[in-house]
Amino acid sequence: MLRREFPLAITCVVGLFMVIGLFVPERHFTAGRTEVESWAIIIRAFAAVLGVANIGRISYLRISRREHEWVYHVPLLIGLVGMIVLGVGGSLGSAPLFGIAEGTFFNDLYMNVYVPMQGTMFALLAFFIASAAFRAFRVRSFEAGLLALAALLVMLGRVPIGAEIWDQLPLISDWIMNIPNNAAKRAILIGAALGAIATGLKVILGLERNYLGGE
Amino acid sequence: MSLSNRLVNLDRRYIFFVILIVIIIPYIRPLGLPIRVSREAEGFFSAIEKVPAGGTVLLAADYDPGSMPELQPMTLAALDLCFRRNVKVVGFCLWPAGPPLLNRALSQVAPRYGKEYGVDYVNLGFKEGQEAVMVRVGSALPEVFPADYNGTPVSTLPIMQDVENFSSVHLLISISAGYPGTKEWVQQVGQRFQNANREMLPIVSGCTAVSAPEYYAYVNAGQLDGLLGGLAGAAEIEKLAGVTGTATRGMDGQSLAHLIIIAFIVLGNLLYFLGGRRKK
């Protein structure tokens, strides 16, 4: 019983406290709320540590059992452990070998390995978008036609060459972004906010229990 | 095989090659297309211009290298605008891979204006906690960031002597690639905390092109004072700041790439309809 009811009670009390603390500007509530927010930061930090430990454990098991594509986990583990040691191993030595400031080995690896690799991954998107535009973007219905027309106008209106082709294109693009786009986005935002309030209430009242795990 | 069939089954590497060429050519031979400044970019610029000399802005650099081409030019231009007006910058990141990029931007711009680390600007580094950090910064920034990115206690930094929370600063600049970012800053902080002028803390955003459409709602509602969307937004703020950076240079390539993608969409549909008509 404690495994279910105790976490539910904690969630209810903390949830109500945070909601009331937002609307009641009384100093005890404010101080308590601030304290709980600090706990939240600490708990989130522990979650990050847990995530790193989990990646390390899974990678180690895959390598030791020679599971499918285990070889990719070797550079992952080396990178993970290596960057942690170089970054936080200040007590092992001083810069440039240890530490995270500019000029350190950590920063050089970040700037010369991590930045180009991640940049390359995202740059590939431009090529795949062009390929998908040619092969998959088909105007099969009236709605798809509207979508295609809006996309073409915004794509042209948002870049300098659009104004060179027709000086009204940027204005049309602005209108699409500010009126129809805004109307749809507002509807989505308001809907999502109402959904978040409903979910929040369900969590506080103990009606929504998925976060406790699959029991 | 007919020409249209051959085009439909075109090896996608040809498409990749065409894109590569249209992006590279403008870098070798710039077209110099004029950049038009939008109302949203003017709002971003004006918000920084309104910060009094000697005032302080918070710069949340919430992005990582994947978004660097779009967002780093915005950070550079924003820092340029701040430093030339003697506005102090307190930077931090809610994305773990962000601090070195912020460091690089600060060390690139600050020397141009003779700004000193710890006095005119500071990089507080990364803090885990997303929305909880945003709200906590509103009550006690030095408690959330007791040390800067290099581990120096903030209590020893002159710039941090007067910075307690949002009421010590004039503006929040959110350079954002996603979650946590501009949306969360608006939801958690906007219209809730006062700034040094005893007004609601103004927020401006520089974001990736893909997230910009969502933030137009916040601009029109007055919850964001300005918005830069993608490389185009970065080029606009570079124009307003009077600097020619990578965004301005990249806009020629982006213009041609957009034209080519539009041509691919039109050609793909043309072939689709021609093929369909033939089948009928």
- Structural domain boundaries in chain A: 1-67
Q: How far apart are CA B122 and CA B157, in angstroms?
A: 8
What is the model's pLDDT at position B191?
Answer: 85
Q: Which residue has the higher pLDDT, B1 or B227?
A: B227
Confidence of residue B53 (pLDDT cuts 50, 70, 90): very high
What is the model's pLDDT at position B277?
Answer: 54
Distance from CA of B52 to the nearest CA of A (A): 30
pLDDT tens, position by position, B131-165: 999 999 988 999 999 999 988 999 999 999 989 99
CA distances from B35 to A75, A88, A167, B41 (A): 44, 44, 12, 12
Which backbone phi and psi does A139 adopt, to 5 degrees? -85, 90
B141: closest chain A residue by CA: A38
pLDDT > 90 fraction of chain A, expressed in percent and rounded: 59
Residues A163, B64: C-beta atoms closer than 8 Å: no
Domain-embedded: residue B259: no
User: SS3 for B58?
Assistant: strand
Mean pLDDT of B208-212: 93
pLDDT tens, position by position, B114-132: 999 999 999 999 999 999 9
Domain-embedded: residue B32: no
Q: Compute and round to an integer the Cα radius of gyration of chain A.
A: 26
Q: How many CA atoms, within 13 angstroms, populate the side-chain half-sphere of residue B154?
A: 24
pLDDT tens, position by position, A139-160: 989 999 999 999 999 999 999 9
Which backbone phi and psi does A17 adopt, to 5 degrees? -60, -45
Confidence of residue B44 (pLDDT cuts 50, 70, 90): very high
Q: Which residue has the higher pLDDT, A133 or B2?
A: A133
Edge-to-edge strand ranges of the sheet holding B56-62: B121-126, B88-93, B56-62, B171-176, B203-207, B226-229
The encoded tokens of residue B237 equal: 């703020």
The encoded tokens of residue B153 equal: 């206690």
Residues B15, A161: C-beta atoms closer than 8 Å: no
Residues B100, A100: C-beta atoms closer than 8 Å: yes
User: SS3 for B197?
Assistant: coil
Amino acid A71 reads V
Q: How far apart are CA B171 and CA B66, in angstroms?
A: 26
Q: Which residues contact A176 (CB under 8 A, 6 or more apart)?
A: A150, A153, A154, A157
Q: Which residues of A touch B68 (CB under 8 A)?
A: 115, 119
The encoded tokens of residue B83 equal: 């430093």
Confidence of residue A208 (pLDDT cuts 50, 70, 90): confident
Strand ranges inside chain B, DSSP E: 56-62, 88-93, 121-126, 171-176, 203-207, 226-229
pLDDT of B2 higher than 80: no
Domain-embedded: residue B70: yes
pLDDT of A185 higher than 80: yes
Distance from CA of A55 to the nearest CA of B (A): 16
- Tell which of A42, A135, A139, A159 to mutate to test the B interface (max B CBs under 10 Å): A159
Mean pLDDT of A189-215: 88
pLDDT of A214 higher than 70: no
Average pLDDT across chain B, whole number:
93
What is the model's pLDDT at position A1?
Answer: 63
The encoded tokens of residue A70 equal: 């285990």
The encoded tokens of residue B179 equal: 């979650």
What is the model's pLDDT at position B116?
Answer: 97
Domain count for chain B = 1
Q: How many CA atoms, within 13 angstroms, populate the side-chain half-sphere of residue B85?
A: 21
What is the model's pLDDT at position A71?
Answer: 95
Distance from CA of B88 to the nearest CA of A (A): 21
Q: Which residue has the higher pLDDT, B252 or B279?
A: B252
Domain enclosing residue B110, as ranges: 39-244
Q: Which residues of B touch A118 (CB under 8 A)?
A: 64-66, 97
Confidence of residue A102 (pLDDT cuts 50, 70, 90): confident
Average pLDDT across chain A, whole number:
89
A vs B, Cβ pairs < 8 A, gives 164
The length of chain A is 215
What b/e sequence results for B222-247 when a residue is b if at least 16 CB atoms lie within 10 Å of its CB, and e otherwise? ebbbbbbbbbbbbbbbbbbbebebbb
- With a threshold of 0.80, does the pTM exceed it? yes
CA distances from B62 to B96, B111, B166 (A): 9, 23, 18
Q: Are B279 and B30 in contact (CB under 8 A)?
A: no
Mean pLDDT of B16-43: 93
Q: Which residues contact B49 (CB under 8 A, 6 or more apart)?
A: B81, B85
CATH of the domain at B53: 3.40.50
